[in-house]
A and B are shown apart, each in its own frame.
Chain A
Amino acid sequence: MLTLPRDHKLLIPYLMGGQSADWLDVAKAMAEAGADALEIGLPFSDPMVDGPVVQRAAATALSRGATPETVLKELSTVDIGVPLIAMTYANVALGIPDFPARLVEAGISGVIVSDLPLEESAEFRAAADRAGVSMVLLGAPDCADDRLARICAASKGFVYSMTAMRTTGEQAQLTTAAKDTVTRLRRHATIPVIAGFGISTPELATEICTEADGVVVGSALVRELLDGGDAATVAERVRGFRTALDRVA
């Protein structure tokens, strides 16, 4: 099961598995640069909740011949050094036999399935529990309070707070919905509330972390890699987020 530290603001970078030949080195570099955990995308042909950058990363991974299975296999050969959370879609999670057990074999302790909302996820949550994997659920700004309460009760490891009604991708500013959703989730959560979607700069990360327990940073790092960045340049950016978050009390 996924357990995260509670004594500092958490930094969870996202990386698309298989998006480049050296993606495992990138993952290790992210961990060494101060990530508390990593979110690893398992590529899917139709990433419905992702914006252009992550879509491009998924298409790149698939065109390189990567599949969710190859990504899991590659991960099982290394020790990244921090907890890993798989992020994928229902067709992958429910289409691969014994998926939770396969995650465990790959050294993954948490899982996000973007299109498996509260009602549809009960069976999978139970299977994940049995295998020892924490299923992380998302709360969205449009969810009513009672729904957020049920999401908090069902989520394991942490609960993911969407900063806005939007797909993944970079943004220049946080909307008022960002903090409000975190605040509403925190009222019900006994596990960390981590904000994600559009946390593009250390400034936005520190801003939301006055309320949230941490952030997921996706597109800003993925774009760096798509633009030709390597493990060292991405690690540098991760370090920037780390330094900024460590200044938040």
Chain B
Amino acid sequence: MGQPDATGRFGDFGGRFLPEALVPACREVEEAFLDAWHDPAFVAEYHRLLATYVGRPTPLTECVRLGERLGIRLLLKREDLAHTGSHKINNVLGQALLAKRMGRTKLIAETGAGQHGVATATAAALLGLDCTVHMGHTDMRRQELNVFRMELLGAEVVPAGVPGTAGTLKEATNAALRAWVSETRTAHYCLGSVLGPHPYPYLVRELQRVIGDEARAQAAELLPTGIPDVVVACVGGGSNAAGTFAGFVDTPAELIGVEAAGGAAVSTGTPGILHGFRSHFLQEGVQIAEAHSISAGLDYPGIGPEHMHLAATGRVRYPTVTDDEALSAVRALAVTEGILPALESAHALAWILRAAGTPELPTGTTVLLTLSGRGDKDVHQIRETLAC
């Protein structure tokens, strides 16, 4: 996918809309990353960790039974098999290495459901960095187990949001940015998706492109045509989708990013500025609205700027899926393939289930789906929802 311009924009989207206090810090991250990413030693160390710690390459699994049922050829890129259970670790390890290279001793992160928080706490432990994770007060209550996991890993989890606010990922991100203002000299802000001020949307995509690059090479071995017809991934902020698409954007493959119906920034958002970047956001007037999705990982009121650019230029389509459709998709994959997907990934699968056999996804199509994470974290919530 494209390079952002000098101001960090992808077309009309992106930029660096920050308090003056954070501008120097972001410029340092930008310079350090560009330098590191061109340094073969840094890249080699990153790939060494991906291989020996994360367990990469993750396999490409063909879903024979579900594929037959749907009349398509269905391949899963298995990010659920990565250490800590999701694609988040790819990004975090890269940023943790960058933090060390910059002489930082601490990682600051935001988290919604806790996947990015757990990944950050893990990387901090591995590399001997301190770690503070900001998490909305409501999410902390809903995801007690992930809070405990982070604490076990040695991280401090700080409740975010004052009374009268929803206390979810949006607040956690505000809190992490606020905390960073006072610690720019010692801490690196380890942002969890292709969001935020420049260079984060670019930096996180580059660290996640390992998903797409691997999948491209694996598909080339497996498929007669070398590339799938359609590539699908779920979109919260859009990091697993951006990483996946990066491997296929220069091919004829159709690219589909699936948003949660209650967090559909592309189809129901309007232009706005939040968390340092311009994109589309769910809004009421000029106030940012809360997203609502059964999957906390898709509960973000906006979408990464490069995705918004890909939507505006028509290269990627962003359909939406409801909570119920996602729950059905969890079941379908579990009983036909023995794989329990994260609720986030289930959204992407749900679109496939809905589209298969229609002109959107004709019989005989080859589809590659990034399974961004495993469903263990969601079992409790799924059981509660199904019991209702």
Measuring CB to CB, which residues of chain A are less than 8 angstroms from any residue of chain B? 44-52, 55-56, 59-60, 62-63, 67-69, 89-92, 94-96, 114-120, 137-144, 147, 151, 162, 164-167
Considering the complex, give the chain B residue whose CB is closest to the CB of A45: B287
Main secondary structure of the interface of A (DSSP, over half): loop
Q: Are B273 and A165 in contact (CB under 8 A)?
A: no
Which residues does B use to contact A, with CB under 8 Å? Answer: 7, 15-21, 23-25, 162-165, 170-171, 174, 177-178, 181-182, 184, 271-276, 281, 283, 285-289
Evaluate contact between B21 and A59: CB separation under 8 angstroms: no
Provide a sorted-by-A list of 21 A–B residue pairs whose CB atoms are within 8 angstroms. A47-B174, A48-B174, A51-B178, A55-B165, A59-B165, A67-B286, A67-B287, A89-B273, A95-B285, A117-B20, A118-B23, A119-B7, A120-B16, A120-B17, A138-B19, A138-B21, A147-B24, A162-B21, A165-B182, A167-B178, A167-B182
CA distance A166 to B185 in the complex (A): 12
A11 to B78, CA, bound (A): 60
Known A48-B275, A142-B184, A165-B184; contact A62-B20, beta-carbon cutoff 8 A: no
- Residues in chain B near residue A94, CB distance under 8 A: 273
Question: What residues of chain A lie closer than 8 Å to B7, measured between beta carbons?
Answer: 119-120
Task: Give every chain B residue within 8 A of A95 (Cβ-Cβ).
Answer: 271-273, 283, 285-286
Asked whether, in the complex, the Cβ of A117 is within 8 Å of the Cβ of B16, the reply is yes
Name the 6 nearest CB pairs between A and B, nearest first.
A140-B21, A59-B164, A95-B286, A45-B287, A90-B273, A49-B19
Residues of chain B contacted by A47 (CB below 8 angstroms): 174
Tell me the smallest distance from the CB of B311 to a CB of chain A, in Å.
20
Closest chain A residue, CB of each to CB of B25? A142
For B23, give the chain A residue with the smallest CB separation.
A117
Contacts of A48 in B (CB 8 A): 18-19, 174, 177-178, 275
B174 touching A91, Cβ below 8 Å: no
Flag if A143 contacts B17 (CB, 8 Å).
Answer: no
CB closest residue in chain A, given B7: A119
Contact A44 B287 (CB under 8 A): yes
B106 to chain A, nearest CB (A): 15
Tell me the smallest distance from the CB of B162 to a CB of chain A, in Å.
5
User: Contacts A48-B275, A59-B165, A162-B20 hold; do A91 and B288 have CB atoms under 8 A apart?
Assistant: yes
Contacting pair B16 A92 (CB below 8 A): no
CB A127 to nearest CB in B, in angstroms, measures: 15
Contact of B286 among A59, A91, A115, A116 (CB under 8 A): A91
CB distance from B110 to the nearest CB of A (A): 12
Q: Which residues from chain B contact A91 at a C-beta distance below 8 Å?
A: 272-274, 281, 283, 286, 288
Known interface pairs A115-B17, A120-B17, A165-B184. Does A46 touch B288 (Cβ–Cβ under 8 Å)? yes
